[in-house]
């Protein structure tokens, strides 16, 4: 009996251990691995306080979902390169040089008045490896819609395809949309005639027609404007951000330009005439000269549109991919042949591709074809900034200024004598310089918009302009890597983006909440019935619960059990 008495406690311990082991096994069976740590990239507070503060708020809310998140703020040039060129690399949180999630923006450009550029380029699989689809979104159903809308000649049918494309993206959430800004800008209207400032539909006053048409009222004849970001590149085959794109459109001509009314109109082309749905005759304007004194020829035009299809300019390839042949008919006329109808061809190609001089670029492209690098990486020392546009490139002092001078021999010469952009990362410095006259056009402001209103109210020589913008602010997920290869997690994060609060408190009302890459400023193409991700931490957690995610005792999120 003594043996029996000593056995019972031991038996109890063994039974308890078995029970605990069973409970532990059940717990492990119901819970997967912890969700990977996340690094969210943004610009620095000094360079872009709106982006920085928006990211800070979102990261705080993501932590309430049980995510381990770090907000990493770095200068624009650094994180732009990381996002664009390291998209295929292992993310930084896993010890690599790639990325998982980043704040980003798409700026308003005239050619984006037609939704094709966003619909096709942002999410078509063909642009995932090296083009605009840096998030790596791959969806054959989306590809089919993006391709179909390009060739659809019935506008109502095309609109329906674009609506369906927007709905797919809204459900799959490769982006979290934040806002369409109404970008405020200040102009010294004691220096520039306010009647010469052009407010273009969907893009505001910062546009090609303003830059070329601004009329001086006195002796100051140079436009002096600003950017908060250093210039990464000045390259007609690579769009390196907002400020470089402004320089590019002034230095290099295009066959067509988008007018202030949003419609394409002939520019370097004297005429654009369609023979049928896939053939268009281009007559080049006579007398055009490159800035080095060489004539602009039809050979230059043909070359300019063939380079993107060579593989040496991936960013521009979507704008030329449907061109199957370019035939020179005589010394001023070409025929472009498309592989199928493309309703946005004038806007998305003829008004987008920069004309480049063959005598400068052909040797460079030929050399690059023997190397892994492409033309997007060429510096201004390797590829001189020689265009034929209304302004000539003069100088670029890295971190300080870029200087252009008027091309008075141009067929449409600018009213100003020059155009200077100063690199001013500090917002207060930029504000001070518009007040003193060191700047006369404040084109970029990332601070409190109410401050600009107060400055304009206090100084009759300064005028505030603000127009609805078709550009947008957003956060992008790299879908190639965990954890954002999981759609439920992306949807949950979308629920913790406080858009209304951000518009009210950070943008100070100078924006509208965004739910699509198509702006409400062009409401014909914007789908009004898209799925909405209302701000709610609880709804975000419920999405995760429904998808099988769990939380441990410390509140950290775990993947669904495998």
Contact between 422 and 416 (Cβ < 8 Å): no
Beta bridge partners of 295: 289
Which residues, in sequence order, are CB contacts of 348 under 8 Å at separation 6+? 111, 114, 116, 117, 120, 319, 342
CA 375 to chain centre: 20
Per-residue pLDDT at 22: 39
CA dist., res. 95 & res. 92, Å (int): 5
Per-residue pLDDT at 498: 97
Which residues, in sequence order, are CB contacts of 478 under 8 Å at separation 6+? 87, 91, 98, 99, 100, 101, 134, 135, 136, 484
Q: Which helix (H) or strand (E) holds 335?
A: strand 333-338
User: Do 38-112+132-137+172-181+470-521+535-558 and 185-228+390-466 come out as alike in CATH topology?
Assistant: yes
Task: Give counts: helices (H), strands (E), the chain.
Answer: 16, 21
DSSP letter at 242 equals H
Which residues, in sequence order, are CB contacts of 415 under 8 Å at separation 6+? 196, 212, 213, 214, 215, 216
Per-residue pLDDT at 219: 96
CA dist., res. 211 & res. 390, Å (int): 10
Q: Supply the pTM of this predicted model.
A: 0.73
Q: Where are the domains of the chain?
A: 1-28, 38-112+132-137+172-181+470-521+535-558, 185-228+390-466, 262-381
Closest by Cα among 263, 306, 261, 256 to 283:
256
CA dist., res. 33 & res. 327, Å (int): 59
CA dist., res. 472 & res. 507, Å (int): 13
DSSP letter at 308 equals G
Contact between 57 and 500 (Cβ < 8 Å): no
Q: Residue 321: helix, strand or coil by DSSP?
A: coil
Closest by Cα among 288, 201, 226, 282 to 470:
201
Residues of the chain with pLDDT under 70: 1-30
Contact between 72 and 41 (Cβ < 8 Å): yes
Closest by Cα among 513, 302, 309, 293 to 386:
293
Contact between 39 and 93 (Cβ < 8 Å): yes
- Per-residue tokens: 8: 């019972």
Neighbour tally for 276: CB within 10 Å: 8
DSSP H helices in 48-173 = 49-63, 76-85, 116, 140-151, 155-172
**Residue 294 burial class via C-beta count within 10 angstroms: exposed 0-12, middle 13-18, buried 19 and up:** middle
Per-residue pLDDT at 197: 96
Q: Residue 88: helix, strand or coil by DSSP?
A: coil
Q: Residue 41: helix, strand or coil by DSSP?
A: strand
Neighbour tally for 237: CB within 10 Å: 27
| Assigned architecture for domain 38-112+132-137+172-181+470-521+535-558 | 3-Layer(aba) Sandwich (3.40)
Q: Which CATH superfamily is domain 185-228+390-466 in?
A: Periplasmic binding protein-like II (3.40.190.10)
CATH 3.90.1150.10 fits 262-381, yes or no: no
3-state helix/strand/coil string of 450-502: HHHHHHHHHCCCEEEEECCCCCEEEEEECCCCCCCCCHHHHHHHHHCCCHHHH
Handedness of CA 29, 31, 37, 42 (dihedral sign): positive
- Per-residue tokens: 41: 């990239």
Mind listing the pLDDT tens digit for each residue in 24-73? 333 433 679 999 999 999 999 988 899 999 999 999 999 999 999 999 99
CA dist., res. 215 & res. 512, Å (int): 32
Contact between 521 and 470 (Cβ < 8 Å): yes
End-to-end Cα separation, the chain, in angstroms: 49
Distances from the Cα of 66 to the Cα of 69, 196, 490, angstroms: 9, 54, 14
């Amino acid at each position: 009996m003594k043996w029996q008495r000593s056995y019972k406690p031991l038996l109890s311990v063994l039974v308890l251990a078995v029970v605990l082991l069973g409970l532990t096994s059940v717990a492990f069976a119901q819970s997967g691995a912890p969700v990977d740590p996340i690094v969210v990239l943004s610009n620095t507070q000094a360079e872009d306080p709106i982006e920085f503060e928006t990211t800070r708020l979102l990261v705080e809310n993501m932590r309430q979902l049980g995510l381990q998140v770090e907000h990493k703020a770095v200068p624009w040039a650094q994180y732009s390169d990381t996002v664009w060129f390291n998209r295929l690399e292992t993310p930084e949180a896993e010890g690599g040089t790639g990325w998982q999630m980043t704040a980003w923006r798409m700026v308003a450009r005239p050619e984006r008045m037609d939704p094709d550029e966003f619909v096709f380029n942002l999410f078509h699989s063909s642009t995932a490896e090296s083009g605009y689809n840096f998030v790596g979104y791959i969806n054959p159903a989306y590809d089919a819609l993006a391709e179909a809308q390009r060739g659809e000649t019935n506008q109502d049918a095309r609109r329906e395809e674009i609506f369906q494309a927007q709905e797919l993206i809204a459900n799959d959430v490769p982006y979290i949309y934040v806002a369409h800004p109404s970008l405020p800008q200040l102009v010294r209207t004691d220096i520039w005639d306010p009647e010469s400032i052009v407010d273009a539909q969907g893009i505001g006053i910062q546009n090609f027609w303003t830059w070329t048409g601004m009329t001086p009222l006195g002796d100051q004849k140079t436009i002096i404007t600003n950017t908060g970001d250093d210039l990464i590149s000045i390259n007609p085959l690579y769009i390196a951000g907002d400020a470089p794109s402004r320089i590019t459109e002034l230095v290099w001509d295009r066959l067509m330009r988008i007018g202030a009314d949003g419609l394409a109109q002939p520019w370097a082309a004297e005429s654009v005439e369609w023979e049928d749905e896939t053939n268009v005759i281009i007559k080049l304007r006579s007398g055009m000269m490159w800035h080095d004194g060489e004539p602009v020829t039809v050979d230059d035009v043909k070359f300019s549109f063939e380079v993107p299809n060579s593989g040496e300019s991936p960013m521009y390839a979507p704008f030329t991919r449907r061109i199957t042949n370019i035939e020179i008919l005589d010394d001023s006329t070409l025929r472009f042949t498309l592989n199928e109808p493309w309703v946005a061809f004038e806007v998305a190609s003829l008004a987008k591709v920069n004309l480049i001089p063959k005598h400068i670029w052909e040797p460079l492209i030929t050399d690059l074809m023997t190397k892994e690098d492409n033309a997007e990486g060429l510096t201004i020392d390797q590829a001189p900034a020689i265009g034929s546009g209304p302004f000539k490139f003069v100088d670029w002092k890295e971190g300080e200024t870029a200087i252009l001078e008027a091309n008075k021999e141009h067929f449409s010469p600018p009213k100003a004598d020059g155009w200077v952009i100063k690199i001013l990362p500090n917002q207060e410095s930029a504000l001070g310089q518009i007040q003193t006259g060191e700047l006369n056009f404040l084109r970029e402001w990332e601070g409190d918009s109410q401050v600009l209103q107060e400055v304009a109210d206090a100084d009759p020589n300064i005028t505030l302009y603000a127009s609805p913008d078709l550009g947008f602010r957003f956060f992008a997920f790299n879908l190639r890597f965990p954890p954002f290869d999981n759609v439920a997690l992306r949807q949950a994060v979308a629920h913790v983006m406080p858009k209304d609060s951000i518009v009210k408190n950070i943008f100070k009302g100078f924006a509208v909440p965004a739910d699509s890459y198509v702006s409400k400023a062009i409401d014909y193409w914007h789908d009004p019935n898209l799925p909405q991700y209302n701000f709610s931490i609880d709804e975000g957690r419920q999405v995760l619960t429904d998808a099988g995610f769990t939380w441990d005792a410390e509140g950290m999120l775990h993947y669904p059990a495998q």
